[in-house]
Amino acid sequence: MELYNKTLSELALMLREKKISSAELTKSIFDRIEAVEDKIEAYVTLNKENALKAAEEIDKKISCGEDLSPLAGIPIGIKDNISTKGLRTTCSSKMLENYVPPFNATVMNKLCDAGAVITGKLNMDEFAMGSSTETSYYKKTKNPYDQTRIPGGSSGGSAAAVAAGEAVAALGSDTGGSIRQPASYCGVVGLKPTYGSVSRFGLVAFASSLDQIGPIGKSVEDVAIIQSVINGYDKMDGTSQYREYTDYKANLKSDVKGLKIGIPKEYFGVGIDDNVKSSVMNAVKQLEGEGAIIKEISLPSTDYALSSYYIISSAEASSNLARYDGVKYGFRAENYDGLIDMYERTRSEGFGDEVKRRIMLGTFVLSSGFYDAYYKKAKLLQRRISNEFTENFKDIDVIATPTVPTTAFKIGEHFNDPVKMYATDICTVTINIAGLPAMSIPCGYDNNGLPIGLQLIGDKFAEQTLLNTAYAYEQLKGGFKLPTL
Ligand code: GLN
């Protein structure tokens, strides 16, 4: 039986009803990896032996009739910037090529407690800096819909693996769009949770005030199931927020009658592909047909979003990445002359060009002569962008926009033009700047058959409203379709 094209919730039911075993399911996912990984190159490290062992353990529990989480026995892939005890975590960088964490990220403990089976570590842009997974030191992941195109980034391996059936679902991380943008390009569902709702403990830091871990899956239900497991207060993360436990899946409702959806005109302007615009507006109309109320809104500071995002994220990155000095972690240059030379050579040889660009930019905007002109201004704009969302959420429930202005571009197309690459993040970065939850769900295809994503943005901790809206739309549109490979 082919299992790799089924959703997590379908498989969870089959496991519960003992129609399949986790060992069988896990084997079939690894068979799929064997069959298509050469084309997709989604994984940096595979965890086959441990995964098969874990699956057998879960099968024993299932046969004893233990009441298990819907994640029990489900093969899940993990972005390679999430610390996995005993399993290499490279951040797709030469700097961490041989780094094996001695501890688990909190989300990993939660997944393992729920009985998830870990398939391996997924490719990404180096240290999550990028929008195409091309900055990985190891390989270029391909889009399952067209292997001459990028899968998006930085969680490109996560989205491509799910779309290609190489994992039932995956975890990604999102600092400026890295869950939603690849989900959009690969035709899968991705959720970037509210800042503070999922613990960042064990997530290798890029820009700590913006980073969030979140799920990527084949359906809204799948994402709801994973989010219910990974979210929650964690004393190991100083920015973690305490909330009552919510079972998002159990509370899913497809009723959007009276739901107020805001359409910000600034997200539909220049640079938005016609196919993308019409698919997104079509999705909104379908929701209107189900009783949602559509309202045009304005978020005028959107114009400043990219500059403030790249200033704030690079400033934080330059500080976070100072720890890679050849002393504490991973790579150290082989030949050097004294301590300072060792630092310099280690960092010059260990980091790729994009990471160096961010470190230099971040150091520049934080330097005493330029701090007021750049960093301080970006922080003021962050407040303004955030206030505009807060004002709008006083009388609307959800905001709908495209996830990305275009569909997946060709490998190499923007690689040497960072400004063009950064511009693809225009619709996603504001959400991290404001700390809001948002998701991307497939809403159609362009003329080349490439997936288009609808982005839904919610107020802080309104994940359930977002998931319900996405669920309602998914019922209208129909579920996941596997691309032909
Ligand atoms: N593409 C954005 C960047 O390069 C976002 C990355 C992310 O969300 N990790 O910074």
- List, by residue number, the catalytic residues: 79, 154, 178
Any ligand 1 atom below 6 A from CB of 176 = yes
Ligand 1 geometric centre to CA of 406 (Å): 16
Low-confidence ranges of the chain (pLDDT < 70): none
Ligand 1 geometric centre to CA of 181 (Å): 9
Any ligand 1 atom below 6 A from CB of 47 = no
Ligand 1 geometric centre to CA of 64 (Å): 44
Number of Cβ atoms within 10 Å of the Cβ of 484: 6
Please give the helix or strand (H or E) that residue 315 lies within, else none.
helix 305-320
Ligand 1 geometric centre to CA of 195 (Å): 15
pLDDT of residue 352: 98
- Which atom of ligand 1 lies nearest, measured to the CA of 130? 4
Pocket test for ligand 1, best of 208, 313, 455 (most atoms within 8 A of CB): 313
Total count of domains within the chain: 1
pLDDT of residue 308: 97
Any ligand 1 atom below 6 A from CB of 205 = no
Please classify residue 211 by burial: count the beta carbons closer than 10 Å to its beta carbon, then call 0-12 exposed, 13-18 middle and 19+ buried: buried
pLDDT of residue 172: 98
Question: Which single residue is written with the structure tokens 């099968």?
Answer: 59
Nearest CA to ligand 1 atom 5: 176
Both tokens of 131, joined, read 């929008």
Here the CATH number for the domain that contains residue 13 is: 3.90.1300.10
57 within 8 A of 113, measured Cβ to Cβ: no
Distance of alpha carbon 103 from alpha carbon 108, whole angstroms: 10
Any ligand 1 atom below 6 A from CB of 177 = yes
Half-sphere exposure of 481 (CA within 13 A, CB side): 13
The gap from C-alpha 406 to its chain's centroid, in whole angstroms, comes to 18
Any ligand 1 atom below 6 A from CB of 130 = yes
pLDDT of residue 270: 77
- The residue range of the domain holding 5 is 1-485
